[in-house]
Amino acid sequence: MIIFKDYHIGLVILFLWWAAGLVYFFSPGSVRIQVPQGGCVSWLYSVIHLSYEIILLPATAVYLLTGRPEWFLWSRFSLAETIKALFIVFGFCVSLLGVYIFCWSRILMGGSFRLAAVEPRRGDYLTVRGPYRYIGNPIYASVLCMCIGLALLTRMYIFIVLCVVLFVLQTAHVIPIEERHLASVHGERYIRYQRSIKKIIPFVY
């Protein structure tokens, strides 16, 4: 049986963080000051999302690479070695899928990319290619995939909680705001597109 050490998981997380970060910060439209609409909840979502990408991921990788401090063991659930290996393999596949969808979606958006709940500009184009053929918010779906994958990889409760919080904020607050913005900018074309696809989970929701 293959034995996966925390060190190996830490290396995987560093690689995934590096790949997603490279695309995020160097694709057109990424780095700019953007003010979200929708008040404190939109700001809260942006802070949680960016903290996850900029702070939590590398901190988790460093924690796993440098060994497990005893005081941090409470944050992880324990499993039998065979089940743990399955969780790690499946978690890696789900995380990799999330990073792939994120990079693909982000590159397709190009200069039309906006942070959560930020009002689009009139010159922005409506992206309907690639993963956008199936769901309207593949970047949000990819973030959830990465969180689920990391929860399986690390067996850390914080990623499970993060999945729930992000999903609730996305579906109940951020996505409705963005849909209104896109409808106001792109008109009937976006409304027809919105009716033809799901929001965040292909063929389901």
- Give the domain CATH number at 49: 1.20.120.1630
Domain that holds residue 166: 6-196
Please report whether residue 40 resides in a domain. yes
Read off the pLDDT of residues 176-193 as tens digits, 9 standing for 90 and up. 999 999 999 999 999 999
In a domain, 205, yes or no: no
Would you state the pLDDT for residue 25?
A: 78
Looking at the structure of the chain, the number of domains it has is: 1
Given pLDDT bands bounded at 50, 70 and 90, which one contains residue 72? low
29 pLDDT tier (thresholds 50, 70, 90): low
Instruction: Determine, yes or no, domain membership for 75.
Output: yes
Is 1 among the domain residues? no
Taking only the tens place, the pLDDT of each residue in 110-139 is 888 887 888 887 788 899 999 999 999 999
Has residue 55 been placed in a domain? yes
End-to-end CA distance of the chain: 38
pLDDT band per the 50, 70, 90 thresholds, residue 102: very high
Within a domain: 63: yes
Asked whether residue 203 is assigned to any structural domain, the reply reads no
